[in-house]
Structure 1
Amino acid sequence: MEQLKVNGKHSAVSRELLAHAARTAVSHSRSVAKANATGMAYIIQKHN
């Protein structure tokens, strides 16, 4: 019984960590995309 409780708690923690990792990855890819767009705009401006 005790083992089951520990497993349940662990899987909840794992789910939380996975959700956090997913959110971090999404926000990271967004900021990278924004940085790329800014860099491209800067390069284009510089060329003109």
Structure 2
Amino acid sequence: NQLLKQESVIPLCHDLRWIKKYADSENSFFEDFEKAYIKLVNSGARWKSL
């Protein structure tokens, strides 16, 4: 199983750890997204209607 050039860099780049985390666990992504979204909404963020 050969890694693509870009994939081989992921473990070396601390900021890209989230890519690996969410690639390994879709559920983790949705849990973290939910927490962040609730925090954003509770802070009073507003969206412009389309």
Task: Give the TM-score, by structure 1 length.
Answer: 0.41
Identify, as 1 or 2, the structure richer in helix: 1
Identify the structure with bigger relative contact order (alpha carbons < 8 Å, sequence gap 6+): 2
